Chains A and B, each alone.
Chain A
Amino acid sequence: MGSIAAILAISRWEVKRVLSQTTRSVLPLAIVLIIALVIVSGFAAQSGVHLQDGIYRLGVNDPAIASLFASDSRFNVYLTDTATLRTYQNSYNVIIIDKKVSAAKTDRGTAALKALERGYQRYIGTLYSSENDLFAAYPLWIDQQYVQSELNFQATEGGQYLGVRPMTTNPYPDGPVEKVSEPVSSLPLPPDDLRQELVRASTKDDPLSRYTDVLKPPAEMGNVRVPSQLTPSLPFDSIIAVFIFIFPLYFISQFFMMSIMGERLDRRGEPLLTTPLHPYQILVGKALPYFAGMCIASLSIALAIGGSPLLLIPLLPVMLFFLATALIIAMLARSFKELSFISIFFSTVITSYLFLPTIFAHVHIVSLISPLTLVVFQLQGEGFTLTDYFYSTALFFITSGVLFFVAVVNFKEERLFGQGKFLTRLMEFVEDSISREQPYLSLLLMNALLIPFVFMAQMMLLVIFFNLPMPYSLVLLICTAALIEEVAKSVGIYALLSRPGALVSFKALGVAAVVTALGFLAGEKLFLFAMLSQVTQSVFGSVLFLSLQVLWIPFLLHLTGVLIVVLMLRYGGRRAYGPAILLATLVHSAYNLIILAGVM
């Protein structure tokens, strides 16, 4: 109980400090800024976004047609006579002469043509939706039904779409045939409601509303569309979820980062360190107000856009992860510039890790590795299962825990007020996380716990290489995955080598290498077993997690990699690290390629 009281005391103190500091100096300006923000967003909502204004030149000889496209700010519409249009047709991107459209055969001409065509469709749409006889204007409706296919992952992986080959005779299913009753030919809504939906759909074409629509519950029309509405959902939509939910989290984590950094300026945190409090109490206490702030912010955003408070659940691990990284970065940085750069860098990486997979929210199972996909699902009223939740958040929970542990271990005078180089400091942090009494046990655990980080990095690669042409993506993936694993394995030993008296004898080196390989392998196995079965079914999965089949071969592989690095470091010193990692990667990649060739 005493420890909770201590944590709360620290929290109270932190809140008081922040409040007294900001109320005095920022509050007056904050009020001005908020008023300005309201005015400006009102102005922006009215005036629209003028980013792509006038990027196309449209030449027309008919004022009636010119007026059709006058409202589209992307077009600079020039109304002149036919002769001028013909003479200067190269200075326009699209020209319409006597209702005949022609466009320059450039990328821009084609883009302008497509934009023009969409605008024309919109015009037709608004015209027809005001017709009395709706089903004469819109005679054809398409009801999209989706069937589940168990072959999901294998058949569509990595840019290979070989599933369907046309046959000369009718394809006939091999398995049992379920009776599918003939669909009833009817529409879900009465004509007047359909008309309203059509009008709504045709007027909301500006780019902004397309994004904001993601946050609304699904339309009442269900899966029924008229042909012109039949477009695949645009993948950028999920970016709005990123901005709306992730940005505030990032923002709040910055305050936490600065608060920790503040303790390090002028050795200000010294009194705090002399208290009998354990570092974890101090850190949890300091983090708690920011965590609460994140929860409140996310909850109010969720409620403001009409989402359910359940949205908080998939965001929870993201919050913890942001706080943990902020903590580590604030403890590592030597200057404000470094703080800015590292935090911008990591937040970009994290944001893309969160954002990239959600592009495929409805297309592909890979999207589930991001908790944000769950947010998108929840927003669209689909919900998610416990397995989904575990699958997409486990990495975040584990990595945040590990980062927090490293921070707690290193929250002491010599680390906080030291001024070494960034990488040196990083190594010191790692070295301190390795126990002095039980270095080998630590090494074992550490390598097992590094697995989530390795997987996060490899998942990033998977997502990035996913759409490259097949052989290149595979080879690139093999080499970079091997590189990441070799670097990860070397971290512990590299740090330990800097400890005086550690790993002097060959026996000690050997034990350290064996322990490292064991820990890494154990972590890998456990992790795969626990959660990644879905991904491992694919060819990509089997590249990343190749070493699953037989136990002793991957063990030898990991051991070889570590031994190469250890021995070269021992004889070549620090300089040998780069070549050592490269050599180990080479061996590792070669092994993977050979195994894979056998598998395929």
Chain B
Amino acid sequence: MNTRHIWLIAKKELSGLYNEKTIILAIALQLFIAMFSSFLIVGLTTMYDPSALSRFSGISYGIGYAGADSPLPGYLEKEGNFRVYRMDLSDAVAALRERKLAGVLYVPHTPPAGEDPVVVTLYLVQNDLQSSMIGSRLKDAFSAYEGDLRDLRNTCLTVTPIDLLFPAERSGGDFFEFIYGLLIPLLLFLPVVISAALIIDFITEEYQLATLETLLSSPVSFPDVILGKVGAAVILVPLQAGAWLLLLAANGVTIAGPIEVLFLVSLIAVVLICLSALIALHYRERTNAQTVFSVGLVIVLLAVLAIPQNPVNMVVRIATATAGPEQWPVLGLLILGSIAMLALVRTYAAYVGIKAPLKEG
């Protein structure tokens, strides 16, 4: 093994990427996904928690109310989100259709302490952002009324639940799980998957474009060529993932232990890239290699995610600063795994050598 040769090959691959300018597309891709996710976050915040945007805080919505008396108007007006108008049902629905109201409630004359359910009818405008926005506010009022009714009828109930006292509702936190539990792992592992697909191109290209012989006429050995390519693919991962973390930080999303997270992601990248290098070396032809790799990726991903304390979960835990001592065995195993995979790739490369692609005779 000659580290200088490996580095040379890695540099060649990287400058090849740079010259083709396709790396710009890769960056554009990532930016695009960033826009995409910011759209999701901003859009959903407005949808589910309108007060998250300051301009909604002062607005109260009009609700038409018809039918029997109930405590509902009181609950609705308590938070200042709604203003309730007592109206005739037909008028109210017509006003709703003209958007002079945000919703209409009809409460039936069912006795509150009776045996029959109280079925309240709620009229909303279809296909409307506002309808989904007021939904969560309405829910609070309904839940309060439900509690009242339960108290009235509790003689018929047999079990009493453990009573937990929750603090008053506060805003925020809606996207914590989405950002840390889904978006961040997605963004960090996107470069890993891209690089793993890239190594297949690096390797099969040499076979299929018949450039291998030229390369091997230099004093670089074949296993070193492959390791160099692996190196180039691996280097791209922490670079891209790091850029993601910076971009997220610029958007106000910071993670705990960024260095450790990047290290862990890079180790996972080594294992996955080696796996796909083995596939590429086996087929030495792009279509088959990419097919097997994509199916294999799904299998590996499913299997890994199904194991408790898997490396991806560990990345999430480190990013949220909830990782305890359980992270060290995972880290140790990953280090051992990457070394073993690199050795395997080297051995297999030496064994396969420059045989012709495994296809058409």
A residues engaging B (CB < 8 A)?
Answer: 20-22, 24-26, 29-30, 33, 36-37, 40-41, 43-44, 46-57, 64-65, 68, 73-74, 76, 96, 99-103, 107-117, 120, 123-124, 127-128, 130-133, 135-149, 151-152, 155-156, 159, 161, 163-167, 170-180, 182-183, 185-187, 224, 226-228, 230-233, 235, 251, 254-255, 258-259, 262, 265-266, 334-342, 344-345, 348-349, 352, 356, 359, 362-365, 421-422, 463-464, 466-469
Distance in angstroms between the alpha carbons of A120 and B143 in the assembled complex: 14
B67 touches A182 (CB 8 A): yes
Residue of B nearest to A49 (CB): B305
Contact of A228 among B89, B143, B201, B291 (CB under 8 A): B143
Given A171-B85, A228-B139, 14 other A-B contacts at CB below 8 A?
A33-B295, A37-B299, A50-B309, A52-B177, A54-B313, A100-B165, A142-B120, A144-B124, A164-B100, A171-B101, A173-B91, A224-B119, A254-B290, A335-B20
Asked whether A133 and B97 contact (CB < 8 A) given A64-B162, A166-B61, A422-B20, the answer is: no
Contact mask for chain B residues 1-38; partner A; CB cutoff 8 A; 1 contact, 0 none:
00000000000000011001111011011001101100
Chain B residues positioned under 8 Å from A156 (CB to CB): 128-130
Nearest CB of B to A84, in Å? 17
**Interface locus among B43-51, B212-220, B337-345:** B43-51
Q: Chain B 147-187, CB within 8 Å of chain A: the 1/0 string?
A: 00110111111110111111100111110110011100100
Q: Is the beta-carbon distance between A110 and B32 smaller than 8 angstroms?
A: no
Q: Give bound CA distance, A468 to B164, whole Å.
A: 39
Taken together as a complex, chains A and B put the C-alpha atoms of A177 and B95 apart, in Å, by 8
B204 at interface by CB-CB < 8 Å: yes
- Asked if B59 CB lies within 8 Å of chain A CBs, one says yes
A54 touches B322 (CB 8 A): yes
Give chain B residues whose Cβ lies under 8 Å from the Cβ of A112. Answer: 173
Known: A136-B153, A337-B17. A185 touches B108 (CB 8 A): yes
The answer to whether A231 and B307 touch across the interface, beta carbons within 8 angstroms, is no
Q: Which of B109-117, B242-250, B266-274, B346-354 is near enough to bind chain A?
A: B109-117
**Contact call B101/A164, Cβ cutoff below 8 A:** yes
Q: Please name all residues of chain B whose beta carbon is closer than 8 Å to the beta carbon of A467 when the two chains form the complex.
A: 39, 42-43, 46
CA gap between A141 and B317 in the complex, in Å: 40
Summarize B's interface: helix, strand, loop or mixed. Answer: helix
Interface size on B, residues (CB 8 A): 150
Q: Is the CB of B91 within 8 A of A161?
A: no
A337 pairs with B142, CB closer than 8 A:
no
Judging by beta carbons under 8 Å apart, are B312 and A173 in contact?
no
Chain A: CB-nearest residue to B202 = A337
A222 to B119 Cα, complex, angstroms? 13
Chain B 294-308, CB within 8 Å of chain A: the 1/0 string?
A: 111011001101111
The reply to whether B93 and A180 contact each other, CB–CB distance below 8 Å, is yes
Whether B126 pairs with A148 at a CB distance below 8 angstroms is: yes
Instruction: Tell me which residues across on chain A come within 8 A of B35, comparing CB atoms.
Output: 464
Interface assignment of B331: CB less than 8 Å from any CB of chain A: no
Which of A103, A110, A167, A231 is within 8 Å of B135, CB to CB? A231
Whether the pair A141, B201 counts as a contact (CB closer than 8 A) is no
Quick one: given A141-B119, A164-B62, A230-B135, are A114 and B306 in contact (CB under 8 Å)?
no
B90 within 8 A of A: yes
Interface residues of chain B, those whose CB is within 8 Å of chain A, are 16-17, 20-23, 25-26, 28-29, 32-33, 35-36, 39-40, 42-44, 46-48, 50, 53, 56, 59-62, 64, 66-67, 83, 85-87, 89-91, 93-102, 106, 108-110, 112, 115-133, 135-136, 138-139, 142-143, 145-146, 149-150, 152-159, 161-167, 170-174, 176-177, 180-182, 185, 194, 197-198, 200-202, 204-205, 208-210, 283, 285-288, 290-292, 294-296, 298-299, 302-303, 305-310, 312-313, 316-317, 320, 322, 358-360
Q: Which residues of B contact A117 (CB under 8 A)?
A: 166
Contact A258 B157 (CB under 8 A): no
CB proximity of B105 to chain A, nearest CB, Å: 9
Q: Which of A172, A251, A339, A464 contacts B95 (CB 8 A)?
A: A172
Contact B310 A345 (CB under 8 A): no
Cβ contact within 8 Å between A149 and B158: no
Contact: A145 with B288, CB < 8 Å?
A: no
**Are A344 and B194 in touch, CB under 8 angstroms?**
yes
B315 to chain A, nearest CB (A): 10
If the complex has contacts A164-B130, A348-B32, are A177 and B94 also in contact, measured as CB distance less than 8 A? yes
Complex partner residue of A111 from B42, B98, B158, B174, CB under 8 angstroms: B174
Contact, CB under 8 Å: B99 / A149: yes
Which of B98, B146, B201 lies in contact with A174, CB distance below 8 A? B98
Which residue of chain A is the closest to B307 with respect to CB atoms? A50
| Contact between A159 and B46, CB atoms less than 8 A apart | yes
User: B286 and A21: CB pair below 8 A?
Assistant: no
From the candidates A53, A115, A230, name the one contacting B309 in the complex (CB within 8 A). A53
